[in-house]
Each structure stands twice: as C-alpha cells, then as structure tokens.
Chain A
Amino acid sequence: MTTKGIMIDRIMKKVEGGTQTTRSRTSRAEVAQELNSVLAKLLKAQVLDGFKEGMSTADGMVYTYENIPIDRRDNGRCSAKLPVTPMNLPGGIGVYAVYPAGYPEKAFIPVSTGLLYTVTNNKILSPIGRKIYTYSNGRVNINADVIGAGVTHLDMELCCVDINSLSDFDPLPVPADIETEAVLAVLQLLGLESPVTRADDKTASPTKTDVS
C-alpha cells in the first residue's frame, strides 16, 4: 500500500526529471491538490462501475469523521454540520452513513429531501422505529429530537477523497491498479504530459509537428 508522501514523490521526480530541489517551481502542496482531484475522479469511476453491476457500496473511499456535535433546531429536529463536502454519487450515497457516536448499528435511514413529506406522512417507518435524515446545505438534518434521547454527537462516514487530512506517512486508500493512472493524470494536469503518451492517444488534438 502506498502513502501520500510516496505518491507525491513519484510525481515530483517526473516533474523535476530527477530528485526534487529547492528551486522547483512546482510545490508539493500543488501536487497534493491535483492528486486529490484526480483520485476523486478515478475512485468515483470505480464506484459507478460497481453500480452497473448492481452494487451500491463505496467502501474504498469512505472516510469516517467522529464526534460531530449535534445542534437542536426549533422544530424538534436536530442537525449537524458535515465536516467535508461529500462526493455527488447516485442514490445519495455520498453521505454513506450517519449514526450516534460509537453505535454504527443504529444508523439513521437516509431520505432524499424531496421524499421527506411522502415518507413522514405515510408513517411507513413509524412502526419500524427507525429515524430518518436528509442532507442539504452542507448539513445532515435528523427528523427527530435525538438530543432529547441522549444522543449529542454523531459519527459520519462520507464518500470523499480528503488527502489533506493525511500526513505524508499515512496510507493512501487507493488500490494499486490506479496508482499509475493517477500519476499520469496529475502530470497531464500540470502540463507535463509525456510525449509518448500523447503520440499513442488517437483522440488527442494534433501537434504542430503532426500538421507539418
């Protein structure tokens, strides 16, 4: 398994044509930012492939954020602020799981905001005893007074790529098969696309030498 530092080092060596020096015009922070975007795109594609096969899981890109405080709202409901913006995935699985801190088996049931009225008025969940939540405006809104029930903090599992929260030595949750693809994509974003790669790409626009 690779780490964030190893991935950035691999890219920096390509950028510099050797070992990075203090005179480098491309910073590690800049590479990390581009790597974040590239990984998000690649991992999202993997999740969507899983959807085609009938699965709806996104285990490879789930980050857990613990002990997020809950605010009580005026209408007897509660809400909590999302620590990061989750990815936009089908079925709203970007917010992967929300549950009382330390109790993943008591996960709340996610409901699309547009379906809230339908669900609450059909009282379909009331005999089942499951609490529902919606996600909007960067907040998770729980349709019950869970603070009154003794729940003051939430744990959230969010689908995202948040390598800024990792140190250089933390394992990067990226499958080995997309590491090379990620390096090449970052190089392309930095304007350092390999000429060989470009020549092999039949869809690339022609260069000046091709035209002449």
Chain B
Amino acid sequence: MSTDAHISIDQIITSWLGKRGYTLHYYVKAAFLAAEAVQELSLTSLPMLHHALLTKEAGQNWYTLPKGYTDYVRVGVRFGDTWMPLRISERLMPYSNTDGDGDMNPAEFGEDMNVLGANSSWYSGASNPASFAAGSFSAGSFSTVPTPAPTPTAIVDGWGVFSDGYAYASRYGLGVYFDVARGIIVAPDGFAFDEIYLVYTGIGTIDNMTGIPVYAQAAIESYIDWKYAANKRDISRGEAQDWERKFDNQHRLLRARVQRWSIEEVAASFEDRFDRRITVGFLLSDNTNNSTVHAIAIGGYPYSYPATYGN
C-alpha cells in the first residue's frame, strides 16, 4: 500500500536493519519476527480490517470464513448499487422461525433475530441461487418493498457506514448465523444471495502485510528487538527483561494511539491538563452536533474531538 498512513512489512524490516547497523543477512530472521509481531499485535492492539467477498457453492447454504478471521465488523449483501448490512447471530444453537408466519417471535429464535418465510431449519433445504445479471438485487427481488425505498444516501451515514441499513435488513428478514467453530457463515433457507460481503478483523497473515498502520511501526520494531535479543545464547535474564519492558511501553503507546477516546477519557484528560474537575455534560455542545466535543469551549484547546458517544 502506498499511502503515508500505511507501511509494508518490508519497509519495517529494512528500517529495523538500518537503525541497528545490520546487513541483509539478518533480513530473514527479522522477517519471521516481524510477521509474528503483526500477528500478535493484531489479536489485541492492532485491528487490521479486511474485506472479503464470500461465495457459496450451488446447493450449499453456508459461506466459508476467510483464513485468519477473528471477528466480524459488517456483513452485507449487494442491493442495487450499494451493500445492505445483514443482521448477525452467533448463538451457539440458532433456532429457526418454525411457524413461518414472518413475524418476530422471540420464543422461536431468541433476541431480535427474525427470518421471514417458510424456513424450517437453518441447515436444511436447498438455497435458491441468485444472479447479479438477472437483477436479483433490485428491490423487486423482495416480497416487501420498504417505504421509503432504501437508497444509498438513506442508509449510509456521515462516517461512510450504514446507519439505517439494519432496519431495512430486519424488515426483509435477512440475517446470517456465524458458526465460528465450524469456520462458516450459515444462511437461512431460501437465502437468495450467492455472495455476501464481509468486513472483518483478522490476524495479520503474511498475505496482507503490506497495509500495516504506520503508528504500529515502533511497536513492531520493539517486538523484533525483544525477541531477537531473547533468542541470543549469551543474553542475561535481566537484559531480556529490559527489552521486554521496552516493548511493553511501545505496546501501551500503540494501544493509546489506536483506541478512540470515550467522553470520560476526554474529560479525564482535561482534568489533568487544567487541574479542575469538569463534567461530561459540560463537554457536550448544545444543539448543533451533540456527538462532538468542542474542547475549545472550556480551555481554548485548538481541536475538537470526535467522540464515540452517540455514534
């Protein structure tokens, strides 16, 4: 990837070699450790978003989860020129809508999952393959036309993600079940889509190590330092622990950079800075955009923070 915000694992390795005065003879060892670092960090502190278009075979009612999958972010089906998010269930024992009346019945399925149509089971019955060319993704493909009809502007919010899409998906009764233990996504009977679009977090596999967020570089290099030193035969335990501590510090910094601040954290930061207690309510602006913290209102701080609260 060529944006300034991302860096490749090759660039991290050569940077590490250059800073330490090592020649290319140490490249492979550093590559192993860098790959390990990305995988380790991606599990907890370095969310690496991936996209995949999953296709099911004719006659199947499941999609195979991609390798390295750890958690879902969004899953959707194509709807005209946009993607409609689907409802997701990951209950261990999904139970179908046995009466087939199309109404939500928590006793039948639990929580808010609803599947319309005469579904007898998640696992039985042949799927009905859909075709992009045949217009399977127009509004006419559905039994109920929503009012108002969903349009890209109606279901994409200011963050570039679907906002109302869940409501429409719920109206259509579209949903899938994530069976992570089996490594599949199961579609309900009669699910008329051959392809679903999955946005997910995954471990940093070797195949996608060209788009590493640049703010993770210091932590990854520090991880290489630690493991490289720890694998030396003549290293003392104290020295190895020193390297580990240095990595821990970089790891903490990485987590701080990745995490979006909550309202409470913003408030705590200002308390530290101005040595006075402030309330969360005071931080919120009044009537224009109540999801944005206008820090300038309390301390002349020149930035405004997008807050997670309300989004």
Question: What is the chain A residue whose CB lies nearest that of B21?
Answer: A55
Q: Which residue of A lies closest to B32 (CB)?
A: A124
Q: Which of A4-12, A74-82, A104-112, A160-168 contacts B (4 or more CB under 8 A)?
A: A104-112
A155–chain B nearest beta-carbon distance, Å: 14
- Range class of the B interface residue count: 20 to 34
Check if B27 is an interface residue, CB within 8 A of chain A.
Answer: yes
Q: Which of A115, A125, A128 has the most CB of B within 10 A?
A: A128
Identify whether the interface residues of B are mostly helix, strand, loop, or mixed. helix
- Residues of A contacting B27 in the complex (Cβ-Cβ under 8 angstroms): 109-110, 130
B44 within 8 A of A: no
Assuming A124-B206, A127-B207, A127-B210, is B28 touching A132 (CB within 8 A)?
yes
Q: Which residue of B lies closest to A108 (CB)?
A: B24
Complex contact A127–B26 (CB within 8 A): no
Number of interface residues of A (CB under 8 A): 25
Point out the residues of chain B lying under 8 angstroms from A97, CB to CB: 23-24
B25 touching A92, Cβ below 8 Å? yes
In the assembled complex, the Cα of A151 lies from the Cα of B206 at a distance in Å of 27
Docked CA distance A130–B206 (Å): 14
Q: Could you tell me the dominant secondary structure of chain A's interface residues?
A: loop
Q: Which of B10, B21, B26, B207 contacts A130 (CB 8 A)?
A: B10
B49 within 8 A of partner (CB): no
- Assuming A56-B21, A56-B23, A96-B23, is B206 touching A126 (CB within 8 A)? yes
- Measured CB to CB, the closest approach of chain A to B271, in angstroms, equals 44
A129 proximity list for chain B (CB < 8 A): 10
- Can you name 22 A-B pairs with beta carbons within 8 Å? A54-B20, A56-B21, A56-B22, A91-B23, A91-B25, A92-B25, A93-B23, A97-B23, A109-B28, A119-B28, A122-B32, A124-B206, A125-B28, A125-B31, A126-B206, A127-B9, A127-B208, A128-B8, A128-B10, A128-B209, A129-B10, A130-B10
Chain A residues within 8 Å of B, Cβ to Cβ: 54-57, 91-93, 96-97, 107, 109-111, 115, 119, 122-130, 132
